[in-house]
Amino acid sequence: MVQERRILYEHLDVPNINTFDVYRQHEGYTRFEKAIAEYQPEEIAQMVWDAGLKGRGGAGFSTGEKWSFVPRDIEPRYLCCNADESEPGTFSNRYVLEKNPHLLIEGILICCYAMGIETTYVYIRGEFTLGKKMLDAAIKEAYEQGYLGENVRDTGLNINIYSHPGAGAYICGEETGLIESLEGKRGQPRNKPPFPAVQGVFMKPTVVQNVETLCNLPFIVGNGVEWYTQMGPTYADTRKDPPEPDRNTGTKLYCISGDVNEPGVYELDLGLTCTELIEVAGGLRGEEVKAVIPGGSSAPILTHYELDTRLDFTSLTLAKSMLGSGGIIVMNETRNIVDCLLNIMKFYAHESCGQCTPCRWGTPWVRDIVQRIADGEGRQTTITRPKFGVTESGRWGDTGETEEIYEDLDLLENVANNIANVDTMTWNTICVFGIAVSWPAVSYMRKFRPEFEAAIREGKLVTLPIAEATVPPEENYAYQQRFIPKEFSELQETTED
Amino acid sequence: MAFIKLNDLEIEVEDGTNIVEAAREHGIEVPHYCYHPGLSRPANCRMCLIDVYLRSSEMPERQLATGCTTTVRSAPPDKKLDGKYDIIVRTDSPRVIKAREDILEFLLVHHPLDCPVCDQAGECDLQDFSYRHGHDKSRYIEVKNIPPKKDLGPDVLLYSTRCIVCTRCIRFCDEVSGSGELGLINRGSHDEIDIPRSHEGIPIQLLDNKLAGNVVDICPVGALISKDFLFKSRPWFMEKANSVCSGCSVGCNVTVEYKADGLYRIKPRFHEDINQHWMCDDGRLGYHYVNSDDRLQLPQKRVDGELVTTQWADALAFITENLSEVDAADIVVIGSAQGTNEDNYVLQQFAHDVLKTTQLGLFGQLHGEEHKFPQFTIEADKNPNTAGARTVLGYANGNVVLEGNELWEKVAGAKIVYLVSGVPERSLEDAEREALEKVDFLIVQDVLPSAATELADVVLPGTTFAEKDGTFTNSTGWVQRIRKSIDPPGEAQVDWEITQQLAKRLGGEIDYHFAGEIAIAIAENVPGYGDATHQNIGDTGIKLD
Amino acid sequence: MSDEIIQIETPFQFNEENKREFDELIGRYPVKEAAMLPTLHLAQRQAGYISPAVMKYVAELLELSVMKVKDVVTFYPMFFEEPVGKYVIRVCHTLPCALRDCKVVLEHLKAKLGTDIASETNLAKGTTDDGKFTLMKVECLASCDVAPVIMVNDDLYKNLTPEMVDELLEQLPN
């Protein structure tokens, strides 16, 4: 069985690790001291790049690369730590904040040193009252101990950390939504470009990093790049010539919930499979795995056919899903996928910020359609209608062909794809919330279509046996393959993990 | 300058231009709602999505971009596409056309489609773009949101059901008027525009800034409606004339919309250097006196202490009788800052050449307050043509144009005063009243019964800005055209024509046939106005040196 | 148009402690507006909910129009515009909790408190007649491993069953 490798969480359960003294006894702040004693800021940034650290917040963007976009000649620059952990199924940051806040502070210090940043705002979700209390206390201690404030440890560095409470809006976890919210406005995401690295909070260059990402920094600095890169699988990115390594380094705080016996946070090397993770989490609660959501509720669902998918950034991208925030939700054979989708769609309809047209009015529409199907009022008519697409003249219109459709399922897929198209990965919205809506909507419906059809046909929710409910991957791939950009399908694993 | 390829056109545009504007300049429509050239660009309506080619001329970028936020810059030589283009843009690719259809479908899901009773119908972007780019039927069968209709302020109503939450109105109040009364309430599909209210719905602050009416103009749909215009007329039944606001010395460019029975509304017209896209509510709503039932329609003369209506011939004869045999030194002729340059030019010609007096004066609306906004100013001088009238009246040799106390002192000692007013709702201050009371024979030319007409021996019915052609000169030296939209009421006449008739009766040789002719005379004679012929001024005006 | 504008009879003001905290807060940001959320939290803690008087006060403190405050207050579900019970019970009902029977907990709470579930625009609906509790559904509380969870004011309660709910409600002082 796969073993946990506790790095970020190593000292999590040490009594009073939230206090400075105990944290100090467990190598606390030594990595920061090492950073300022042994490395230049640019060297730290290079180390982070070399370590292949990918952002743990959801997008999985290379942290080192992100830092390289920050213009170092514009002052001041800011660091925003994203502790607005709201993705359903994700709860690893909460434990860091509540139990080991000094680790986050050390991570922030290293980032501030590397990027020449003097001010950090930790945007902490409003419901995390305990987490905020613990963090505030730790910040206070760090000030007292001279690790924050003017002239940190006589190095001439000035570093301030302020915690900033959110107020219950999921969208503030989106980096530009977070920035707007931090500026005291509605958390409505901004258009990109310009990206926050260039024009972020208060229109100044801003690094936005998730709690978990920042917590990785002390260990990269403390144990070195080589040590860090040993963890996790590396693939060959054959889009490049010659192929470049596509790395998934480090550990991940996998949050597993739903139908497992021991839900919780498990720190493991990137790249284990769904089946292995369920095993680590005490096994399935129930008979059989029906579905797994691999990266928070926005991620496309995986069926029981796909349980050997590795839970890392690259593999999940190839499986047309994503690792996202690492929130894994497991569903057993008793679960009805229509019902689950309804729950998730209610969440998104409630959390849409309402700024841009497709999301504001499309998301509740999708919810209403799913609600109608779940209520047994889905429209049963199978209608033949003209097929729309790109016509011979090169314009969008009636192609002259016809297709047969289940009216409401077609509508569901179509409306969701009009918010953000999951096949072409293009969105009509300002931020990626759009794709976070249509990804589950379309993937659940396509992969568990029989259950949706049954709900419409029978006029009520019907939970089918797994084999009947799931569309086999062969058929599934028919639609996937149509749209997978060629270069992605050429990615192959090369090295050992 | 940047060289871009827009669909199949190769065009040169200035750096910093966005694609919506660049396309508009070349006759290509990129539909949009939230974008307004005078406001910031949140790109929230997503209507102006376009295909952009940044890295290759073969493959567009994966994501569609919004045209309003895609600005053109000249690229370094090695980054040019096909060796020459700074950017390639397509507004007609299949996926752009599909995206527009999709966005329009979303925009209409909660829309009540109440066009038959909507004031905006006929000038509605939602109608127009749906007509050109939309689906022919709705797939939405769920229940529509029905947010309440709201009263926002003295002149603005919000039909929330029609609102598409483009936030133009909010941005206007934040950026142009700086008053910030408007905002969104709630979240997601429950977003509504509103003024701040208590939870029970009682207003905390009203939308009552002096620029509030502009939010109605910039609303791309029928959500924000002017109470003044509500249910008055279908837009397509009104005629339009390009003119200039007569409310103050800013000289906002406006479009006057009218039917045969009067003016219906006034909307601002873009002028880059004067009013941009805006105008104030004083000007916007200040036209009602033009339609007033009280307008002077026939001349009046004083018989046995009472003013009685009479015919033009009689009134003019009565004046000539009194004017003959009077010493020029006893006559004061007063022009109006509400009158056009043409009116005042003929008036000074009459005074200088016919009456031989050099004693002129300038009358106008009393000064009000100046209002400064972040991007707009309302002037204290409530007359549209103070600068022009002053110059035109006073250019000729020896003419003295008196104003304020000097004028009224002179009036007090005069026997005959010819006061061209045309100033609506003008009260008289004590000094003014006392001076006018002392005059033996007072001729007042005005548009409405006023404090001055009450003292007059003869009242001549003149015309407002809406009933004549001519030019105004604003406080910053812009000479601009006003245009006749409606006929004067009854037998009221254009002011310079009245003056000219008087002159003729007194043997003067003033003989103009239309305002443009006078403008040519002004251009020939008045220093600085050399180019200010109507032809040159056109719709944008010319700036004096 | 009723030109009626609300007259604020009892103006709101921070007490000394909160004023001190606010003064410290405002120094953290280069622009005053950025202190919006922490200031509103502070005000709500003192006043119980964000009344027009509070909005006006916060707007003055941050040098903004009242609408900018109202705008923010209505966007974030954690700010209340009407009075709420002494204990605000937030029941998570997102998928991981739903998979662990949060519905049972919610129904139990409804029956026990004899109240409906508050909606964001109608909190009174979910408030008990004695003003002790306000029951509301919220989205994911980021404690999916210990689902189902509820929050009572600032405290999180985990792995709930109807019996534990009973116990909890009894413990809460009046």
pLDDT in tens, B419-467: 999 999 899 999 999 999 999 999 999 999 999 999 999 999 999 999 9
Assigned domain for B379 exists? yes
Do B83 and B199 lie in one domain? The reply is: no
Do B180 and B231 lie in one domain? The reply is: yes
**CA of B23 to nearest chain A CA: how many angstroms apart?**
20
C-alpha dihedral, B362 to B366 to B371 to B377, nearest 10°: -20
> Would you call B97 and A349 a contact, using CB atoms and an 8 Å cutoff?
no
DSSP A210: E
Q: Is the CATH number 3.40.30.10 carried by domain C87-171?
A: yes
Residue A139 and residue A163: Cα distance in Å, rounded?
Answer: 9
Whether C16-75 and C87-171 share one fold: the answer is no
Residues of B in contact with C74 (CB under 8 A): 184-187
**Residue ranges making up the domain that contains B376:** 300-543
Do B81 and B148 lie in one domain? The reply is: no
What pLDDT does B211 receive? Answer: 96
pLDDT, averaged in runs of 10, over chain A (497 residues): 88 93 94 95 95 88 94 94 93 94 96 96 95 96 95 92 95 94 95 93 95 95 93 79 82 94 94 92 94 93 91 86 92 96 96 95 96 91 65 65 77 93 89 94 92 92 94 61 40 44
Neighbours of chain A (3+ CB pairs under 8 A): B, C
Do B343 and B476 lie in one domain? The reply is: yes
The more confident residue out of A401 and B160 is B160
> Would you call A257 and C98 a contact, using CB atoms and an 8 Å cutoff?
no
Neighbours of chain C (3+ CB pairs under 8 A): A, B
> Would you call B198 and C51 a contact, using CB atoms and an 8 Å cutoff?
yes
Assigned domain for B313 exists? yes
pTM for the model: 0.93
Q: What domains can you pick out in chain A, each with its CATH number?
A: 20-231 (3.40.50.11540), 251-334 (3.10.20.600), 337-462 (1.20.1440.230)
CATH assignment of the domain containing B29: 3.10.20.740
Where are chain C's structural domains? 16-75, 87-171
Task: Supply the mean pLDDT for chain B.
Answer: 94
> Would you call B107 and A169 a contact, using CB atoms and an 8 Å cutoff?
no
A360 in contact with B, Cβ within 8 Å: yes
Q: Which residues 322-341 of chain A have a CB within 8 Å of chain C?
A: 327, 329, 331, 335, 340
**CA of B235 to nearest chain A CA: how many angstroms apart?**
28
> Would you call A362 and B106 a contact, using CB atoms and an 8 Å cutoff?
yes
Spell out which chain C residues touch chain A, with contact meaning CB-CB distance below 8 angstroms.
28-31, 33-38, 40-41, 62, 68, 71-72, 75-79, 90, 93-96, 98-100, 138-147, 151, 154-156
- Residue A374 half-sphere exposure toward CB, CA atoms < 13 A: 18
SS3 A211: helix
Please name every residue paired with B359 in a beta bridge, in sequence order, or none if there are none.
B400
Residues of B in contact with A430 (CB under 8 A): 43-44, 46
CATH assignment of the domain containing B147: 3.30.70.20
Whether omega before A193 lies within 30 degrees of 0, making that bond cis, reads: yes
Contact B192, B163 (CB under 8 A): yes
What pLDDT does A395 receive? Answer: 60
What pLDDT does A393 receive? Answer: 65
Residues of C in contact with A85 (CB under 8 A): 142
- Count Cβ atoms below 10 Å from residue C112 Cβ, excluding itself: 14
What pLDDT does B519 receive? Answer: 96
Assigned domain for B388 exists? yes
Residue C96 and residue C140: Cα distance in Å, rounded?
Answer: 8
Assigned domain for B468 exists? yes
Instruction: Give Cβ neighbours of residue A465 (< 8 Å, ≥ 6 apart).
Output: A333
Contact B389, B479 (CB under 8 A): no
> Would you call C142 and A168 a contact, using CB atoms and an 8 Å cutoff?
no
Q: What are phi and psi of B479, to 5 degrees?
A: -95, 125
Which residue from B213, B201, B219, B218 is spatially nearest to B162, judged by alpha carbons? B219
Assigned domain for B267 exists? no
Do B220 and B360 lie in one domain? The reply is: no
Looking at domain C16-75, its CATH class is: mainly alpha
Task: Give me the tens of pLDDT residue by residue for chain C, a chain 174 residues long.
Answer: 456 788 887 899 999 999 999 999 999 999 999 999 999 999 999 999 999 999 999 999 999 999 999 999 999 999 999 999 999 999 999 999 999 999 999 999 999 999 999 988 899 999 999 999 999 999 999 999 998 999 999 999 999 999 999 999 999 988
What pLDDT does A388 receive? Answer: 62
Q: Token match 């997008």: residue?
A: A59
Q: Which residues 84-143 of chain C have a CB within 8 Å of chain B?
A: 120-121
Closest-CA residue in chain C for A201? C34
Assigned domain for B377 exists? yes
Q: What is the pLDDT of residues B274-288, one digit of tens each?
A: 999 999 999 999 999
> Would you call B181 and C3 a contact, using CB atoms and an 8 Å cutoff?
no
ipTM over 0.85: yes
What pLDDT does B206 receive? Answer: 95
By CB neighbour count within 10 A (0-12 exposed, 13-18 middle, 19+ buried), where does B148 fall? exposed
